[in-house]
Chains A and B, each alone.
Chain A
Amino acid sequence: MNRPLAKAALILIGMYIVLVYVLPLFTAPLPASLIYLYLALTLSAVLIYYTISGTTLEEFMGPIVRFLSGVDQVGPAKTARLLVLIVFPLLVGWQTYTRLAPSDLPPPENRTIHPAPPGEFVGLSNPFPKTPENIMMGKGLYAAYCSPCHGANYDGKGPAAPGFNPPPANFRDPGTIAQLQESYLFWRIKKGGVGLPVEGMPWKSAMPRWEVELPDEFIWKIIMGEYDGAGQSPRTWEEEE
Chain B
Amino acid sequence: MNIYLDLFLTFAKVGVCTFGGGYAMLPILQREVVEKKGWATDEELTDYYAIGQCTPGVIAVNTATFIGHKYKGIPGGILATLGLVFPSIVMITVIAAFLKNFADSPYVIHAFNGVRACVCVLIFNAVVKLQKSSVIDTPAAILFFVTFLLSAIWGISPAVIVLAAGVIGLVLKLIAEKRGDKA
Bind each other: no
A residues whose Cβ falls under 8 Å from a Cβ of B: none
